[in-house]
Structure 1
């Protein structure tokens, strides 16, 4: 490899590397040990560089080296250049070959109701990537936690300092057990919700019940503040499936339960959620193969029709 300034003869990479090490370490012997060559080889490379440039770079003392003004200036620039080059090579290496483990932090409801039932398709497509899932409502500081590569979150954003991509906006819909559609207290119109518990969770769309009841025209007859409160949508959906009331949740979370018949949608009306599902990644890992493949798979799953 050679560096060829415009309009000038090429400067051999080996000579620049030998000089950079010697200028940084202050010794041909130390530079030789670092580069796994002989001190004579370092001396020869530095001499060839001096002849190429037509200027002395070192004053050679009995047992030491002293950088001359030209050598000090070139040494500082060479050290900075090789440091930047080494970092760029390492980033490229990680981007090209880092395909082992992928650590994903994900909110529990999304993990249980959407992600986990589909993960076999990602594993079938990418068997060389080991997924490590951590299900938590806690806000993970990706910039400070080196053990987490990406996070899937439900919120309004923004997420400064992270590579953030909006996956999908949520639309909130009421769901309940099929048993609530039967009997004397069956749900037949939105006003019938006054006879049932409204199940709420602690996510940002909790206020959605008021919006939904207003859109349905029954906010004056059904009080959105009553009912059971849960820490997340997963628990609210479990309670709804057990016949304990009606939950208002993002449509993304109910596909499996609707297909299995555990839940039904008593009314077709939906309202927009103020929050969305986001893909968040550490900036230094966003372009690695494992992260890009996981994001591409998420996009494909979200755009695919229900199976």
Structure 2
């Protein structure tokens, strides 16, 4: 392994919680492909997180604490920019990988510079780490991954309309394929859809492995009304970016409907907070998208 330039950089954003982080790190260390760096981006400067990272005594683990809180989108961004490899992958602090995840994707991308994104299917697990088999099957179908075969994807635009790419948990992608000047804190928790759209519209190939190589953890609870509103605004922002991107003109009608839905969803979130004027504005926007685009 070239310590200066690892083959792939793993980005693990963290914020306060330590409970699952050890599991996540250990599944990275257990990878059959070992030429990587693991950058833990701590948005809370939590001493227990730093202590855990250092306890492994592995030089591939790099702990970074932010001087001030950056939020979801920019904490991820800080890790992406600190990465020494052009190949990036995300491992959230509560998720897990199966041992062959990197082995199945990274060598393919190293041998073919024309591939900008590789991804696999994944398992859903509950808070105790148990497989959610029925829910996993439902999600594979819901996001259209059951229609994909091993190898290069023939119609990558459809990956965006189907939201097929689990970029936050089961993907390896090229840093150089993204125009990072278009990335901002406004993408928030929808950063994964935003980056997926950037990668697909780059014109580089997309590679798919149907094996379930990672484990995405589902937590109970619906979140606060403020978080739901923020999530709606972030998703709408990214949806509008995709809708106005001429590369996706073949799925523009799909995204017009998605923008209408997300506008209505944002209106609902405002209404639940008693902000009637803002709610009406987004309801009006939903109607506009529905009828006129």
TM-score of the pair, normalised by structure 2: 0.22
Higher relative contact order (CA 8 A, sep 6+): 1
Q: Which has the larger radius of gyration?
A: 1
TM-score of the pair, normalised by structure 1: 0.21
